[in-house]
């Protein structure tokens, strides 16, 4: 099992998104995702999020909100626990990312980008819910087979209702 972070950074009604085009053997190849990455030894979720955002974007988060945890189960990849964060409090200038292209994308357009189907669920949770959430996503290949929010099955395909 691996632990990762993902942080949605917002500015002027846009999220900073990463179009994953540069990394070799990338399970996120050509997808649009928020920024984040794998834990280093001894890091807390918050420390990992702060470090990964700085490394990938050049931005320094002055604060970030821990929104939830997503458990990814897949027939192709190892189980992953992804710690989800949100921030609109940062400083610095964006630099080039060695994993792809960074782009500010209007919030409403993010849902139509090429991404994992489950990403739309946890992004919707970030936008609609004030509670900390636990979401389990089960994939067969790239197909989302099951989504379980706080112990309850969600109806698929997901249409934004909880």
Looking at residue 148, which CATH number applies to its domain?
Answer: 3.90.79.10
- Identify whether 159 is part of a domain: no
52 found inside a domain: yes
Can you tell me the distance from the alpha carbon of 19 to that of 113, in angstroms, rounded to the nearest whole number? Answer: 9
Asked if 37 and 52 count as a contact pair (C-beta separation under 8 A), the reply is yes
- Residue 40, Cβ neighbours under 10 Å: how many? 10
Count of the separate structural domains present in the chain? 1
* Mean pLDDT estimate for the chain: 93
Residue 64 lies in a domain: yes
pLDDT on residue 135: 96
Q: Please compute the mean of the pLDDT values over residues 135-160 and round it to a whole number.
A: 92
Using CA atoms, how far apart are residues 145 and 107, in angstroms rounded to an integer? Answer: 26
Structural domain of 109? 2-153
- Does a structural domain hold residue 29? yes
Angle of CA points 20, 70, 86, to nearest 5°: 70
Tell me the pLDDT band of 28, cut-offs 50, 70 and 90: confident
**Alpha carbon of 121 to those of 29, 55, 127, 131, 153: distances in Å?**
20, 26, 10, 14, 12
Q: Using the predicted structure, report yes or no on whether residue 161 has a pLDDT greater than 70.
A: no
Residue predicted with more confidence, 161 or 43: 43
Within a domain: 158: no
Ramachandran angles phi, psi of 119, nearest 5°: -60, -35
What is the predicted pLDDT for the residue at 111? 94
Residue 24: predicted pLDDT:
77
How confident is the model at residue 145, as a pLDDT?
96
For residue range 106-120, what is the model confidence (pLDDT) as tens digits? 999 999 999 999 999
pLDDT of residue 35: 96
Summarize the confidence of residues 129-146 as an average pLDDT: 93
In a domain, 160, yes or no: no
Q: Is residue 22's pLDDT more than 90?
A: no
pLDDT at 63 over 80: yes
161 assigned to some structural domain? no
Q: Please indicate whether residue 98 or residue 11 has the higher confidence score (pLDDT).
A: 11
Check if the beta carbon of residue 138 is closer than 8 Å to that of residue 145: yes
Query: What average pLDDT score do residues 93-118 get?
Result: 94
């Amino acid at each position: 099992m691996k632990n990762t972070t993902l942080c949605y950074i917002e500015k002027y009604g846009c999220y900073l998104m990463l179009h994953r085009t540069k990394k070799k053997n990338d399970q996120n190849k050509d997808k649009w995702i928020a920024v984040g990455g794998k834990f280093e030894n001894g890091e807390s979720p918050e420390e990992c999020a702060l470090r990964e955002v700085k490394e990938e974007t050049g931005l320094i988060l002055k604060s970030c909100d821990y929104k939830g945890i997503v458990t990814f189960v897949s027939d192709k990849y190892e189980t992953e626990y992804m710690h989800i964060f949100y921030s609109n409090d940062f400083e610095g200038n964006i630099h080039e990312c060695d994993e792809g292209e960074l782009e500010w994308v209007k919030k409403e357009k993010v849902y139509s980008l090429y991404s994992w189907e489950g990403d739309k669920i946890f992004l919707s949770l970030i936008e609609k819910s004030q509670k900390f959430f636990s979401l389990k996503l089960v994939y067969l290949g790239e197909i989302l087979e099951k989504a379980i929010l706080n112990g309850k099955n969600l109806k698929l395909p997901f249409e934004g209702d909880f």
